[in-house]
Chains A and B, each alone.
Chain A
Amino acid sequence: MEDRIIMTIQSVLDKRPLITLDSHLLEDLRVDSLDKLMILSALEDEFAITISEDDFADVVTIKDIVMKLKARGFFAGGAATI
């Protein structure tokens, strides 16, 4: 599941370094507010979920995004199913 999240994010961050779980959104990936909207939209599409921007206001790293998605129970079926 982490891989799928990373791949989805990478697909909307062109001209950026390779993303890992530890990538820092601002420092490593230079993500600005529009990039962030694009990331959230891409995740919504990829996983057929709805994300509220406010819930993701405090994410700093890719891992934070993964944790949020997990915590919200989006992947209740377990990683194996995704």
Chain B
Amino acid sequence: MDLRDFYTRLSVDESLAEVMGYNPYYQKIDSGLNARILVNGHEMIDLASNNYLGLAADNRVKQAAMEAIKKYGVSLCGTPIATGYIDLFQQLEKKLSHFIELEETIILPSCYQANNGLFNCIAGPKDLIIVDRLVHSSLIEGIKSTGSKIRPFLHNNLEHLEGILQRSMGYRQVFVVTESVFSTEGSIAPFKEIVQLCEKYEAMPIIDDSHGIGVLGKSGRGILEEQRIAGYRGIYTASLGKAFANSGGMISGEKKLINYLKYYCSHLVYSTALTPAVLAGISSVLDIIHFEFSGIKKKLINKQRQIYEALLEGGFKVVYSKAPMNSIQTGSKEATFILNRKLYEKGILSTPFIEPAVPISEGRVRLIAGASLSQDTVDEAVAIIKRIGFS
């Protein structure tokens, strides 16, 4: 045994970045998500962050966070089961449950953590977990930790799902796991039908609504509102770091489930609670959504459409998404990096996805135009996109 061997094993394959002379990851951001962001000291248009509603740098949200810091300090230095469970925490749990219209909620430091911690509390080797083939890494990791039998189904394919359900006899419990908005594709799950299939085969549905909460539905309540799924009895998770513009992950569902997780989910019990600033920030985002959602959503859709049309005109391969994002199908990882770099060089920050974040050779470059971008900024982005397309 030699420490050198250990460190040799840890080498990162940077060949692609070396060949391209460009690494899109860990770019240094020198500002907040303002009208323009500073990346490595350069002013750029942010089409990369998940700041859908444009509330990350909203003055009201900042103010709420600052007031919480004044009252509570920056941290309670404890997990929720100990000193971390301040009144703001409890109020936010209630407010989130009310918002998505489910019985109860717990809040973890991130949705990655929520998805990682959920599954091994509720499933084990005697169970079957059927999962959409394209779900997020956090769900896959969580599912793998259970020792359950895992059966992926073709992306959003109800027929394939039902086929598997029909042949799923003899398990203690069957779970069906999917996401609302698949953030690399922009596709939306037919979740209402999935819930109906779950009812038919007595399976437990689990939905990750990270890119749907605060975005989908008439009043921003997410996938359950969007698809009019009333009386949902399954499990719901979502990130609070995207449209909600803060950080954290929620798990919601029936009281019995949530109470169990409160004591048995180690990812919650043994991890320092979200800080007062974040709790207050999320709460103020919920207030803004309550009063202003329809106006914000209109802006969001309008911007998405302008970018979409520019992409079409520029000859890019892009499928119109019902979610407020545009995902360009670039294919190989090289082509994905090249387009991401071209955009970067012209002043647009975008998100590249290569394997393993997406299936091999199904690279994507994603553009999200947040609701707070000014029309001038969108015009400029549109002009850049068209220019790159024509070149």
Contacts and interface: CB of A to CB of B under 8 A. Distances in A.
B154 interface: yes
Interface string A35-57: 10110010001000000000000
B355 A32 contact: yes
Contacts of A15: 362
B142 interface: no
Nearest to B355: A32
Interface residues of A, number: 13
Interface residues of B, number: 17
B151 A35 contact: no
Interface in B147-166: 150-154, 160, 163-164
B164 A41 contact: yes
Interface in A8-47: 12, 14-15, 26, 30-32, 34-35, 37-38, 41, 45
Interface in B162-177: 163-164, 167
Contacts of A45: 163-164, 167
B295 interface: no
B356 A32 contact: yes
B359 interface: yes
A12 B157 CA distance: 11
Contacts of A14: 154
Interface string B51-86: 000000000000000000000000000000000000
B140 A34 contact: yes
A32 B360 contact: yes
A37 B151 contact: yes
Given A41-B164, A45-B167, A30 B154 contact: no
Contact of B151 (A26, A31, A32, A38): A38
Given A32-B355, A45-B163, A45-B167, A37 B360 contact: no
Contacts of A37: 150-152
Contacts, number: 33
Interface string B354-371: 011001111000000000
Contacts of B233: none
B317 to A, nearest CB: 13
Contacts of B305: none
Interface in B200-227: none
Contacts of A32: 355-356, 359-360
A39 B378 CA distance: 44
A77 B153 CA distance: 30
A33 to B, nearest CB: 8
B94 interface: no
Contacts of A30: 359-361
A15 B155 CA distance: 12
A24 B355 CA distance: 18
B133 interface: yes
A41 to B, nearest CB: 5
Contacts of A38: 133, 151-154
A38 B155 CA distance: 12
Nearest to B144: A33
B152 A34 contact: yes
Nearest to B134: A34
Interface in B337-391: 355-356, 359-362
Contacts of A35: 133, 152, 359
B165 to A, nearest CB: 11
Contacts of A41: 151-152, 164
Interface of A: 12, 14-15, 26, 30-32, 34-35, 37-38, 41, 45
Interface of B: 133, 140, 150-154, 160, 163-164, 167, 355-356, 359-362
Given A12-B160, A32-B360, A35-B133, 6 more contacts: A30-B360, A31-B360, A34-B140, A35-B152, A38-B154, A45-B164
Please name the 6 residue pairs, one residue from A and one from B, whose CB atoms are nearest each other, closest first.
A30-B360, A41-B151, A38-B152, A34-B152, A45-B167, A30-B361
24 contacts: A12-B154, A14-B154, A30-B359, A30-B360, A30-B361, A31-B360, A32-B355, A32-B356, A32-B359, A34-B152, A35-B133, A35-B152, A37-B150, A37-B151, A37-B152, A38-B133, A38-B151, A38-B152, A38-B154, A41-B151, A41-B164, A45-B163, A45-B164, A45-B167
